[in-house]
């Protein structure tokens, strides 16, 4: 595989019709596109080769590429998203990943979104959420076992995905939203808590150059990350967040 790669999909013109868990926010697609381009610039600046999978105007959520695949070791698990309308997003991503990895697929009745999977400290954590079910979790567990990794299931109570409320900032530390997930599953990891006044506004993405990209909408929580010894770079992704997105969900880092 040529160097570190960030696989991304641009914001489609129909992004203002993206699925939203609660409410009916007004989403400015032009601003979202500009914010996504800035995000890609930061990835490139951190040393990633940004590879683009074309946007799909039939799928407003296609920019959230993370949900379509989970890379574990030498295997790319192509997901079966929990939202039926998103299942048409997977094929272009599967094709792109097949250049570098062995691919396998989640099959019915299993459902899993990549946003429910985080790998940290040698453990695969998977969220049991509205989008990821037991059948999907068991298929993920089988792939992880083939790669000699254990799987821990984390109940998701108040979030769309596990990584909406549990963000790794290094191999031993997570930032967690209180009472949003079963944090007891993270035994052995150091937990920092998202500031209550910034609930569900913090997102983070560790970069290969050692910095941590953080959301500009959560400065108090971001300062906790900085005090923990991490150099942070804040980015405004307000329109991405309006569609229930965060910093991890707009890329698959290889």
CB of 78 within 8 A of CB of 97?
yes
Q: Tell me which residues are annotated as active site.
A: 161, 249
- Dihedrals phi, psi of 251, to nearest 5 degrees: -155, 160
């Amino acid at each position: 595989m040529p160097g570190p790669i960030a696989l991304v999909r641009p914001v489609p013109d129909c992004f203002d019709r993206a699925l939203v868990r609660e409410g009916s926010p007004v989403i400015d697609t032009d601003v979202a596109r500009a914010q996504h381009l800035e995000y890609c610039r930061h990835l490139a600046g951190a040393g990633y080769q940004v590879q683009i999978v074309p946007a799909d105007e039939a799928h407003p959520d296609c920019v959230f590429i993370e949900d379509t695949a989970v890379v574990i070791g030498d295997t790319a698990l192509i997901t079966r998203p929990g939202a039926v309308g998103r299942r048409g997003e997977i094929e272009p991503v599967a094709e792109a990943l097949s250049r570098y990895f062995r691919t396998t697929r989640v099959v019915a009745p299993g459902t899993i979104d990549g946003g429910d999977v985080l790998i940290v400290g040698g453990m695969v954590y998977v969220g049991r959420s509205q989008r990821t079910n037991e059948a999907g979790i068991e298929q993920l567990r089988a792939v992880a076992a083939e790669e000699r990794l254990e799987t821990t299931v984390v109940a998701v109570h108040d979030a769309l995905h596990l990584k909406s409320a549990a963000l790794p900032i290094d191999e031993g530390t997570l930032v967690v939203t209180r009472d949003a997930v079963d944090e007891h599953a993270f035994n052995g990891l150091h937990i920092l808590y998202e500031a209550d006044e910034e609930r569900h506004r913090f997102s983070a993405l560790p970069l290969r150059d050692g910095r941590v990209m953080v959301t500009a909408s959560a400065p108090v929580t971001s300062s906790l990350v900085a005090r923990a010894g991490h150099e942070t770079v804040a980015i405004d992704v307000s329109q991405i967040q309006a569609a229930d997105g965060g910093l991890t969900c707009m890329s698959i880092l290889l």
